[in-house]
Amino acid sequence: MTKKKQDKTRMKKQYEVGEQETVDQCIDRIRKEGYTPIRRIEKPIFKEVEQNGDIGYEPVSRTIIFDAVPVKDEQ
């Protein structure tokens, strides 16, 4: 891996939207820390459900994660 590519991966940061936090509040938090969101990821949370002896999975919630990079100062 080249040095330039290593610097880019080190600069990325992930932010998770908290349970009592809105998406807008999370984005404000990201910007206050000097980052800009570049990608939104939604991961489902499943629960095991047993019906007639078979185990199945039901989605019960989701986690929202933002990938962010530092804001570059334009001169």
pLDDT tens for residues 3-19? Answer: 555 555 568 999 999 99
Strand partners, 45: 61
Q: Where are the domains of the chain?
A: 11-70
Q: How many CB atoms lie within 10 A of CB 70?
A: 12
Summarised one tens digit per residue, pLDDT across range 32-68 is 999 999 999 999 999 999 888 899 999 999 999 999 9
